[in-house]
Structure 1
Amino acid sequence: MGKKIGPSIYIPTDKNIYDALQHKKVKQSDLVALLRRRNILVSPSLDKLELSIMISGLTIDYEDFIYITKLLENPNRKEKTTQSSVKAQVSDDEIKKACKMLIDADISDDTFKIVKSDSDTISLVVTYTDIDFTKTELRQRAIKKCEIEIQRENGELTFRMPSNEKAKTITSKLKENLSQVKGEELEEETISLENFIEAEARSYFFDRLINLVPGYSFENVSSVDVYHSIDSLDDDEDELDEEQAGRFAGYIRKAVLAGNGVLESAEFNQLHARGFFISKIVWTCDENVTGGNRVEFEAQFGTPSSCTDFKYLVRGIYNYNDRTQEHNVTRRSALPKEIKKLNILLEQAAKLSFEAVEKKY
């Protein structure tokens, strides 16, 4: 069955155009350039408001529409990564067959591409349209790419993908297809502390994580999110009786601590003693080589109440300066190959940390 593809019938109104041009990403020079493309010359001294009113009163053609929407795009937005794995001996042909089953069953406008990255890795790249109705009309539709990396190693299949619903849905279908191809139910493994309800156990996971990144030494924690849950609140907040409501009236569920040496601060220790546990952490590690760089990581559980949906991010790198013999104070973005390498190291640290929690608690 072929995909249903057709032209868009959306036509922006003058208000849609005006609202879009008021966004902070759109600069005054962009509006002058747009008018110049229409052979309309204006004074560069005109402010953004005047130019927006002028442009929104014009008839906007397709080229203008594309120009404006591109001004509103945010291609550099960093998205956290998540991963899951299954115990299975799977060949490249079986992975490709599962991918093709997903593609053949898809009836959306999404486009798919299967890429062989290396001898043990196959990537499924999906280009799709993301719609967010909370944004203004011209920013509701955004073209995005989602890359799901499937890596084979030591009898284990690892799925590495962006931490969003689109990637999770596609990955779930891929696993179902692989089960059909293999003719057996695949055992899935994820990093989850749902079965460890003790606050100490959940914080201990992050304590181990920041110290177990292979090839790196812990340097400092700059930010921590702590969370506290009460079973009766989590189970049914709407059905609390009057007595319970009074008891939890001044209840604080979560807090964010930022600064230098957060884990050693009196505030953190006080919250920790009251049953709060770490749900998100930002820290830096130094590479264990002479002149090695400093890396800033972030890790968290997307659902802190149950400590599920583990995801992580390489926030950036502080290069080592040979002249000053110190790390630069300005952080740079990590290169794709650096991100791939560091994500794998983070995953290894997370698995070791989870095993440490299992052993201790």
Structure 2
Amino acid sequence: MTDFLDHISASDNDIYDLLISGKQRMTAAVLREFIRDRGIFCSSEDSRDELSDYISMLPHGFHDVEAIIDKREPGPRREKTTSIRFDAEIPVEDIKAAVESYMKGIGPKESVTHRPKKDGGFAVKVEYDEFNHGKTKLLQREKHEAKIDFIIENGKTVVRLPATDKAKRVVAAIKDCVEQRRKSVIKEERVELEGLTTPELRSKFFTRLISNLDGFKLRNVMNLKVSSHRSNDDEDASFDLDEEAESDASMEMFAVVHSMALSGQNLVQSAEYKELTKRGFYITSISWRSEQVINPPDIVQYEAGFEDKKKCSGFRYGIQGVFKAHKGSHRKTITSVEAQDRARYFSLLETTALRILNELLSEAGAGNHDLSGEAA
């Protein structure tokens, strides 16, 4: 009986762990506010530890615990984005029927809403819970949402989704339903570099991507990560290397390290990056700034990379923000991007990445690429 009650109630230790673990959100001022709501005043000299201990010993009802959890929970995290291109134009009616079939199969465990879009596409939002047992007991249930867009482009269907396992499973289930309805298999196009076997070609994918965005000119590269064929996906052998903190000791490590992260400006031209490429390393992710050619000449900070560093599969990307043009220069503070502009930037990244991949695959097949001068 005791074990059962432990699963439906919060002990004083559970509440204390909840309060003490959130240093940034559960400040001493917030803790004093919890206490003042009960008509109790504490000394301004009391520490966070003392306040947390005192609050945890007070009697708490369901709504009291719920209020603490709401205050403690971090805001929703913006996941990186990925996309899948279906080699067919799927009618909205088929997508809607497939989504409704998914809703019937999943039952009340998830909240699924859907609607047609003004541009002729279709939008799906899935709200669901996941458990993270690495967190304190009262925060293990995490609320997530996956916004999935179906976009019709040039006779094909582009599916844009968060780069999470859950969102990928939802899209796979919807695709299966559409295939059953159409009684035909729908081919997929993904940005993956498994067909590019040399480090030179894999790095060339990124260097072309950042310099060939239509309507933008490259300003600088802010951060990049590199890996080699010897890398193990499970190892944590990466480290930051700032250009201003270059040392001979760091250079000596190039021969033994399997993956690495560099940060700074204009990294593709840096001596460190050139040294890495000589040793068989290739880029696996990158962030850069590009300036819009037309007015306003805002500077957009992009990021792109692969989830699986060794296979270079699981392409994902994001928009970190924008530096607004202002009086002939740019503001120093990065700001968030409006939804309409974000969709436009995503579409540009997706089409450019797929075009460059196809170009490199053609070059590799013809045995004619610039960097190595050898057949792939």
Q: With structure 2 as the length reference, what TM-score do the two structures score?
A: 0.85
Question: Of 298, 301, 310, which aligns to 1:296?
Answer: 301
Q: Matches of 2:204 and 2:8 in 1, distance apart?
A: 52
SS of the aligned residue for 1:329 comes to: coil
CA distance in 1, matches of 2:106, 2:295: 51
Is residue 319 of structure 1 aligned with residue 324 of structure 2? yes
User: Match for 1:306 among 303, 311, 324?
Assistant: 311
Q: Could you tell me how far apart the structure 2 residues matched to 1:162 and 1:26 are?
A: 29
CA deviations 1:68-126 (Å, max 9, x no partner) are 22223222522100000111232111110010111111145211101222232111111
CA distance in 1, matches of 2:120, 2:322: 27
Q: Secondary structure at the match of 1:305?
A: coil
1:15 corresponds to which letter in structure 2? N
What amino acid does structure 1 have at the position aligned with 2:200? E
Equivalent pairs, count: 336
The structural deviation recorded for 1:143 is: 1.4
**What code does the residue aligned with 1:11 have?**
S
Q: 1:278 and 2:283 equivalent?
A: yes
Q: Which runs of 4+ in 1 moved over 6 A?
A: none
SS state of the match for residue 212, structure 2?
Answer: coil
Deviation at 1:45, TM superposition (A): 4.5
Q: How does 1:81-92 map to 2 (within 5 A)?
A: 81-92=81-92
1:33 maps to 2:33:
yes
- Report the equivalent of 1:241: none
Indicate conservation of the 8 Å contact 2:148/2:159, yes or no: yes
- Is the Cα contact below 8 Å between 1:213 and 1:348 reproduced in 2? no
1:206–1:353 CA contact under 8 A, matched in 2:
no
| 1:138 CA drift (Å) | 2.1
2:358 & 2:61 partners in 1: Cα distance? 58
Question: Does 2:348 match 1:350?
Answer: no
Q: Identify if the C-alpha distance between structure 1 residues 76 and 102 changes in structure 2 by more than 3 Å, giving closer, same or farther.
A: closer
The separation in 1 between residues aligned to 2:203 and 2:52, in whole angstroms, is 51
Question: Is 1:267 the equivalent of 2:303?
Answer: no
CA contact (8 A) 1:115 1:125 kept: no
The offset of 1:328, in angstroms, is 1.6
Match of 1:331 in 2: 334
Structure 1 Cα separation of the partners of residues 180 and 106 of structure 2: 17
- Residue by residue over 1:107-150, the C-alpha shift from the partner in whole angstroms, topping out at 9 and shown as x without a partner, is 45211101222232111111111211111112211212111111
Aligned runs of 1:59-70 on 2, under 5 Å? 59-70=59-70
> Matched residues in 2 for 1:110 and 1:45: separation?
46
Residue identity matched to 2:216: Y
* 2:135 alignment counterpart: 135
1:1-361 correspondence to structure 2 within 5 Å? 10-22=8-20, 23-24=22-23, 25-107=25-107, 109-230=109-230, 251-322=256-327, 325-361=328-364
| SS, match of residue 129 in structure 1 | strand
Check conservation: 1:109, 1:128, Cα contact below 8 A. Answer: yes
Residues 195 and 361 in structure 2, CA contact (< 8 A), matched pair in contact too: no
Structure 1 residue ranges without an equivalent (≥5) = 1-7, 235-249
What is the root-mean-square deviation of aligned Cα atoms in Å?
Answer: 1.8
> How far apart, in 1, do the equivalents of 2:330 and 2:315 lie?
30
| 271-280 or 328-337, larger mean C-alpha shift | 328-337
- Given the superposition, is the C-alpha separation of residues 178 and 326 from structure 1 closer, same or farther in structure 2, using an over 3 Å criterion? same
Give the letter aligned to residue 220 of structure 1: N
Deviates most, 103-112 or 44-53: 44-53
Q: Which amino acid in structure 1 is aligned with residue 353 of structure 2?
A: A
Report the Cα distance in structure 1 between the residues aligned to 2:10 and 2:117, rounded to whole angstroms. Answer: 41
CA distance in 1, matches of 2:273, 2:39: 61
8 Å contact kept, 1:146–1:162: yes
**Contact in 2 for aligned 1:205/1:353 (Cα 8 Å):** yes
Contact 1:318–1:329 (CA under 8 A) maintained in structure 2: yes
Identity %: 27
Which consecutive unaligned segments of at least 5 residues does structure 2 have? 1-5, 234-254, 365-376
* Paired residue type of 2:178: L
Secondary structure in structure 2 of the residue aligned to 1:118: coil
Q: 1:31·1:52 contact (CA, 8 Å) conserved in 2?
A: yes
Q: Contact (CA 8 Å) 1:120, 1:153: kept in 2 or not?
A: no
Q: Tell me, in whole angstroms, the C-alpha distance in 2 between the residues paired with 1:291 and 1:83.
A: 28
In 2, distance between residues paired with 1:18 and 1:182?
55
**Alignment TM-score, normalising by the size of structure 1:** 0.88
* SS of residue matched to 1:106: helix
